[in-house]
Chains A and B, each alone.
Chain A
Amino acid sequence: MKKLLEKLTEGILMLSGTVTTVTVLLIVFFLFKEGAGLFGKSPTEDGFTVAVNHNNPIDKLSPEQIKNVFDQNIVNWKELGGNDDSIILFRMDDLLSYYSEDELGGIDTNMSLLAQKIDQVIENNKGVIAFISANEIPKEHHSKLVRIESIGLGSFFGGEVWFPTSTPVAQFGIYPLLMGTLWVSFIAILIALPFGLAAAIYMAEIADSKVRGILKPIIELLAGIPSVVYGFFGLIVLVPLVQQLFNLPVGETGLTGSIVLAIMALPTIITVAEDAITRTPRSVREASLALGASQWQTIYRIVIPAASSGITAAVILGIGRAIGETMAVLMVTGNAAVVPHSMLEPMRTIPATIAAELGEAAKGSLHYDALFALGCVLFIITMLVNITVEMISKKGTKNKLR
């Protein structure tokens, strides 16, 4: 009977372990499957194309060029290597300015009539560039479809423009988002680590039990505050503070985000590191003291190296929190998708982008895939950080404990 019970418990434990692993693997698989859908596709919305007059020599444009054309930064085909014609923009909603309401009667239901009218506009205007639905091109058409460079790894990681909803061509360059994320998290960890470790050592080794009894619950309480509250605190208190301190035109900067993140990562770092330090065997500590080492020498040479694996865990969890944090960052960093030149500029991070944009991205659209690809990037960054920290700490313990 007892044996059966043991077997049963064993089975349950194994099952839950397997289920967790499989779940994690499935999530990762799902993330990458959706993210990979972005590449190799044309950056126009599904079912839409860009067309020009059939006499126009241009037949291929880059997403960047098309954006500049539709923003009217490029106004003549000459600038793109074509004829000396000024560019006429045409979107489907513009049809009303070419034809009267009467001529377009019944166009809502009669798709082929719509297609004919659009074809006429393209035929009649030499410099036209039209952004139209692929359904609206009749079988015998006078327009020429422009080929658009598809999205590749190079333009995804190297592109400096993130405009996922711009029409006709969405821009998916994540370089500014990537840099924003790395900088904000890096500075946050730089701020949080010294403070966190110092506080952990103080609480575990130096503070008397009374102080610890008060401090520990308070710090653990900090971890329970919802991140949106931290964000609000940042927006109301830190943003004006940073703005005045550095005499900036705007207080929503990467640095503000880093400070908020550092405050948020502190409780995790402190509690985990403190637990690790306290768990150092009493015998090790006493041996050191018995050999005549001072308290500080014991902490520095014996306790911290012995607790280093726990401290590493604290660091990883802290970095994880900083890189993945969304809401607080969304509220205080300004979210401008520009490549940052200093910490005192607005930045946009990857998690903030995913949180702000996933709601509107229709399932299966390019924008949706792009956000999942961002998730993959985030996953890879976190994994790399974990592996690196793990490797460094392993090396460190070997040398120090000998």
Chain B
Amino acid sequence: MKKIILAIAFVSAVFNAATAQKIKGSDTVLPLAQKEAEVYMKKNKAARITVTGGGSGVGISSLIDNTTDVAMSSRKMKLSEKMKVNDGGVSSAEVVIAYDALAVIVNPANKVSQLTREQLEGIYTGKIKNWNQVGGENTPIVVYGRESSSGTFDFFKEHVLNNKNYAASVMSMPATGAIVQSVSQTKGAIGYVGLAYVENNVKALSVSFNKGKNFVAPSIATAKNKTYPIVRPLYFYYLTSASKMVKPFVDFILSSEGQTIVAKEGFVSLN
């Protein structure tokens, strides 16, 4: 009898350890992953999931250092990072769990309501310095961005700035919420945030990626029908050697139940 109890205790301990997983990375994905983990843990009493933020770069470098099981990322893994993962003789798997539209926001008092990609590039690389150069009032442009550890920082650089470097005068904020706060209280401000963060105290701009032929406002609908151009996939990265442990949770997110949560949290679901 005693032996059986011991055996059960041992097995359950192993089982517990096997299902306890750490998820780390993008602050954009953080609220979504937390919600998914909450619901998942309610359904599977044995599962233990801890979710922490820090930025996409932080998550991926933790995956490389093997201090996390899953890296959340709002950008694709860079080739250099992939090579570092492969250096350890292991390979990583990539799963898209949702999409996120990136909105360019300005102060509600700003008259400008649409910009082209070229104008955005000019503003963020420091070549356009005043709103009257893009059809607004004579106010200096105050440019807000994220810290370099943020996946949003990299995604915006790749897709909107054509891989050019940001101007040094771009102010880097430690969190998306701080960008919304600053833009709402600064008249000449411009910033970029995930669609889920857009509130009434800031104005989201329509953008055009075909030199001003047509401008599209960001919304879940325009992101879904692919007319809004600044849409990015949100990724989960994990080592293939750990897939057995990670897979059930990933599958849950990809299930229709998981995708309902995606939509509820203000992101764009996969289908």
Give complex CA distance A331, B147 in Å: 12
Q: Is the CB of B165 within 8 A of A331?
A: no
Given A93-B79, A249-B142: A360 and B185 interface contact (C-beta under 8 Å): no
In chain B, positions 48-62 with a C-beta closer than 8 Å to chain A are 54-55, 57-58, 61
Report the Cα distance A93→B84, complex, angstroms.
17
* A330 CA / B172 CA spacing, docked (Å): 9
- Cβ A48 vs Cβ B185 within 8 A: no
Query: Within 8 Å CB of A166, what residues of B?
Result: 165
Q: Are A239 and B168 in contact (CB under 8 A)?
A: no
Of B55, B79, B163, B186, which is within 8 A of A251 by CB? B186
Q: Is B125 an interface residue (CB 8 A)?
A: yes
A165 pairs with B170, CB closer than 8 A: no
A45, A48, A362 — most chain B CB neighbours (10 Å):
A362
Identify which of residues 88-116 in chain A touch chain B, using a CB-to-CB cut-off of 8 Å: 91-93
A334 at the interface (CB under 8 A from B): yes
What is the CA–CA distance of A248 and B100 in the complex, to the nearest angstrom? 34
In the complex, what residue of chain B is closest to A352 when comparing beta carbons? B174
Stretch at the interface among A66-74, A143-151, A315-323, A372-380: A66-74
A363 to B142, CA, bound (A): 34
Q: A235-B181, A243-B186, A362-B64 are in contact. Are A133 and B171 (CB under 8 A)?
A: no
A37: Cβ under 8 A from any B Cβ: no
The answer to the question of A357 belonging to the interface, with a C-beta cut-off of 8 Å to chain B, is: yes
Q: Which B residues between 131 and 177 are near A, CB-CB below 8 angstroms? A: 139-140, 142, 147-149, 162-165, 168-174
Interface 1/0 per residue, A161-201 and B, CB below 8 Å: 11111100000000010000000000000000000000000
Q: Report the separation of the CA atoms of residues A41 and B182 in the bound assembly, to the nearest whole angstrom.
A: 39
In the complex, the answer to whether B65 meets A360 with C-beta atoms within 8 Å is no
Closest to B65 in A: A363
A87 within 8 A of B: no
Decide: B171 and A335 in contact? CB cutoff 8 A: yes
Q: Chain A 239-252, CB within 8 Å of chain B: the 1/0 string?
A: 11001000001111
CA distance A71 to B167 in the complex (A): 10
Contact A71 B165 (CB under 8 A): yes
Contact B79 A336 (CB under 8 A): no
| Interface membership of B218, Cβ < 8 A | no
Q: Is the CB of B174 within 8 A of A330?
A: yes
Q: Which residues of A contact B174 (CB under 8 A)?
A: 330-331, 335, 356
Docked pose: A249 CA to B190 CA in angstroms = 12
Q: Does A337 contact B (CB under 8 A)?
A: yes
Task: List residues of chain A with CB within 8 A of the CB of B108.
Answer: none
Q: A292 at the A/B interface (Cβ < 8 Å)?
A: no
Hey, which chain B residues are within 8 Å of A224, CB to CB? none
Which of chain A's residues 224-268 have a Cβ closer than 8 Å to chain B?
A: 235-236, 239-240, 243, 249-252
Closest chain-A Cβ to B108's Cβ sits at a distance in Å of 15
Q: How far is the CA of A67 from the CA of B169 in the complex (A)?
A: 16
- Contact B186 A338, beta carbon cutoff 8 Å: no
The 8 Å CB contact of A45, one of B55, B80, B149, is: B80
Closest chain A residue, CB of each to CB of B187: A249
A331 to B182, CA, bound (A): 10
Q: Is B20 interfacial (CB-CB < 8 Å)?
A: no
Within 8 Å by CB of A161, from B61, B168, B172, lies B168
A320 to B148, CA, bound (A): 27
Chain B residues, Cβ within 8 Å of A217: none
A-B contact pairs, 27 of them (CB 8 A): A71-B125, A71-B164, A91-B163, A93-B79, A133-B80, A133-B83, A164-B148, A176-B168, A236-B181, A243-B185, A249-B140, A249-B142, A249-B188, A250-B188, A251-B185, A251-B186, A252-B171, A331-B174, A336-B168, A336-B171, A356-B149, A356-B174, A359-B55, A360-B57, A360-B61, A362-B61, A362-B84
- Which B residues form the contact surface with A (CB < 8 A)? 54-55, 57-58, 61, 64-65, 79-80, 83-84, 125, 139-140, 142, 147-149, 162-165, 168-174, 178, 181-182, 185-189
Minimum-distance CB pairs A-B, first 5: A360-B57, A360-B149, A334-B171, A359-B58, A250-B142
